[in-house]
A and B are shown apart, each in its own frame.
Chain A
Amino acid sequence: MKLWEKRQNDVVILAVHGRFDATTAPLFEQQVAPMLDGGDKNFLLDLAHLDYISSAALRRLLFLAKQAEDKGGKVALLSVQSHILEIFDMAGFTQLFQFYTDQEEAVRSF
């Protein structure tokens, strides 16, 4: 998995590439934990280049959403491919996140 970070207004945009599973989830946490500690609370995850997501990774996203919500922020998802969306849907996670296809619109939603 590779992560690219950029910021727009007060939103952290994280582009996740490759596989997001139990093996790669610690890398995700290493990157996100300091941001939460530093006061970031709005996260937009760009999943356009995500190849695979496991239930362990979905749980990490749920924890992140809970932590962001506790700080008054939220997690939204951008450009989710259909096969990844199917996994979200199967796990019942589509109701837990807002999904966007346009980055500007997604950033405005925070």
Chain B
Amino acid sequence: MPRKPSNLIYGVDESPGGIALVLLGFQHISLLAIAFIFPVVVVDAIGGTPDQAGGLISMAMLATGFGTILQGINRGPVGSGYLCPLLNGPAFLSASLMAGKMGGLALIFGMTAVAGCFEAFFSRLLSRMRAVFPAEVTGTIVTMVGIEVIPIAVRKFLGVDKIHFAPDPTSICVAVITLGAMACFNVWGKGKLRLYSVLLGMFVGYGAAAATGILNMDTIRAMMEAPFFSLPAVGHYGLSFQWVLLIPFLVAALSSALKTMGDVTTCQKINDSQWKRPDMVNISGGVLACGIGNILSGMLGALGQSVSSSNIGLSIATGATSRRIAYSTGGILILLAFFPKFASIFVIMPTPIMGASLIFSVSFMILAGLQIIMSRMIDARKTFVIGISIIFGLSIEFAPDLYRNVHPWIQPVFGSSLSLATICAILLNLFFRIGIARKASLSLKPGEDTSEAIDHFMEQQGRAWGARGEVIYKATAAMSEFFEAAAENALTQQPVAMTARFDEFNLDIEMAYAGAPIELPAQRPDARDLLTDETAPLRLAGYMVRSLADGAAIETNAGQSRIHLHFNH
């Protein structure tokens, strides 16, 4: 049963109540709105009209609204049950541009629906792929999910957009004020101030943008001219299919699925103070929701969607992860698709405010990824899995030209630092699994300096297995406790053969020796016993061995004793 972390104001199963739900929904939409730029980019690239771009934004609201609600469902096979808002993100951008240039919007939508089917199918395989996604791989993916947003976040923070090609001092000023306000509300604000820190920061930012002229009357007039109500033109462009585009769209769907995996893993971790490992069945539900969302996107006439990492960062920052916020965010998005005038408030958001909001959220996302990585003991193998994957992922951001001539079919893999880092991490993890024994043995004689040898043995194995530090610590303590008691009470004069077996869920230690068994009492001796009774120290040692383990048993046969210790992992 997940335990709500103390830093959360509203946990996943709690409800913030009516008005708060609406405000928190708007706060999430203000971040999602940044992605409304992608439909504009695609329509612009294929020579479409501003009306078509507006229509695509309406469809984006409708499709991602449904997708966000689906993702929040916590019963049945569809949905992760977490607040994981969806957006028309960059995962499908490259493939959509190819499709748009080849066959217009109908081809984009048809291929997006096919990609959604593939993603839904892939989700059904995930629950059997636990070994492919250990903590160091999912942690790397989550870290890269945050890092991938950095280029766009920093560009916007500095005021660089399609009109301004160099950093603009006025924009930087507005961005610094916005980010500063968000950080101040979040760090020093309590309760409501922290809960709405992004929304309040944006208000401050809009004020600064108006004062500096970045938000001018022309932009406000454009907003006012938008119609109050309009029915979205569902499925207006139809659907078409081209075999040649199958691979790019399948790769895009895979990227989207992997990103969802990273994001849902983060949601699991931030909602459970006792989090130990990714829950693959839950992740599978999240990826299925995303796949269905993409089928819906294609049918309605919107670009492909994936989970918005920035919004997960926002929920960490504000301490509000309630799934009801997913329902309110999704509901408001669907409504906004019918009311273009209100929707345009988000569409006209000044670039530096977008940049400040992204930087604010991404900070939390990157830290969540690093925390997942560091939840396990790290050895050279894992260092390479994490390090090499991050290095090659970042190489796309540092030197994008290096991958310019990659075949268009696999362009989505090399077009995103997240995709490349993810593929690297998965392959390297599979490669470095070669030669890791799940079982290791050590033989030591009680009375010699055993504690250091046990410590070294368990430390080395724990790192090779990628075990959790606290489990290895307890096992080491139980083994040391037994050896101390065996030496002090002369339980054996012979070496003790120890065997440690590990899989992701269990650590089992067996200690076999020729000699008397140690008693593992259920009751511990009290202080008075320890001061007066000579047998009490051995009973305390036996009690500690038993209590440190999650399960303990002793077998004796013809003068041979065998202790089994089980530790949950």
Which residue of B451, B477, B485, B527 is within 8 Å of A23 (Cβ)?
B451
| A92 nearest CB across to chain B (Å) | 5
User: Does A22 contact B524, Cβ atoms closer than 8 Å?
Assistant: no
| A61 nearest CB across to chain B (Å) | 11
Q: In the complex, how many residues of chain B place their beta carbon closer than 8 angstroms to a beta carbon of chain A?
A: 24
* Nearest residue, chain A, Cβ from B539: A55
Given A23-B449, A96-B527, the answer on whether A52 and B477 have CB atoms closer than 8 Å is yes
User: Does A92 contact B526, Cβ atoms closer than 8 Å?
Assistant: yes
User: Does A55 contact B537, Cβ atoms closer than 8 Å?
Assistant: yes
Contact with A along B66-98 (1 / 0, CB 8 A): 000000000000000000000000000000000
CA distance A97 to B466 in the complex (A): 36
CA distance A22 to B543 in the complex (A): 17
CA distance A23 to B480 in the complex (A): 11
Which residue of B451, B524, B527, B548 is within 8 Å of A21 (Cβ)?
B451
Given A55-B540, A56-B541, A90-B547, the answer on whether A21 and B480 have CB atoms closer than 8 Å is yes
CA distance A94 to B531 in the complex (A): 17
Contact with B along A66-110 (1 / 0, CB 8 A): 100000000000000001000100111100100000000000000
CA distance A54 to B547 in the complex (A): 13
Which residue of A59, A66, A90 is within 8 Å of B537 (Cβ)?
A59
Which residue of A55, A62, A90 is within 8 Å of B527 (Cβ)?
A62
Tell me which residues from 508 to 547 in chain B have a Cβ below 8 Å from any Cβ of chain A.
524, 526-527, 530-531, 537, 540-541, 543-544, 547
* Nearest residue, chain A, Cβ from B531: A66
B484 at the interface (CB under 8 A from A): yes
Residues of A near B524 (CB, < 8 A) are: 90-92
CA distance A20 to B351 in the complex (A): 59
* Nearest residue, chain A, Cβ from B538: A55
CA distance A39 to B372 in the complex (A): 51
* Nearest residue, chain B, Cβ from A82: B470
User: Does B527 contact A56, Cβ atoms closer than 8 Å?
Assistant: no
| B530 nearest CB across to chain A (Å) | 6
Residues of B near A23 (CB, < 8 A) are: 449, 451
Tell me which residues from 470 to 508 in chain B have a Cβ below 8 Å from any Cβ of chain A.
470, 473, 476-477, 480-481, 484-485, 487-488
User: Does B537 contact A91, Cβ atoms closer than 8 Å?
Assistant: no
* Nearest residue, chain B, Cβ from A25: B484
Which residue of B484, B488, B530, B543 is within 8 Å of A62 (Cβ)?
B530
A49 at the interface (CB under 8 A from B): no
Given A56-B541, A91-B540, A92-B526, the answer on whether A83 and B473 have CB atoms closer than 8 Å is yes
A19 at the interface (CB under 8 A from B): yes
Residues of A near B531 (CB, < 8 A) are: 62-63, 66
User: Does B547 contact A22, Cβ atoms closer than 8 Å?
Assistant: no
* Nearest residue, chain A, Cβ from B449: A23
Mind listing 9 A-B residue pairs with CB under 8 Å?
A: A54-B481, A55-B484, A55-B544, A56-B537, A59-B530, A66-B531, A87-B477, A90-B548, A91-B543
List 9 other contacts, CB 8 Å, given A22-B487, A22-B488.
A21-B484, A54-B544, A56-B484, A56-B541, A59-B530, A63-B531, A87-B544, A92-B526, A96-B527
**What are the 7 A-B residue pairs with the smallest beta carbon separation, nearest first?**
A22-B484, A55-B540, A90-B547, A55-B541, A55-B544, A54-B484, A92-B524
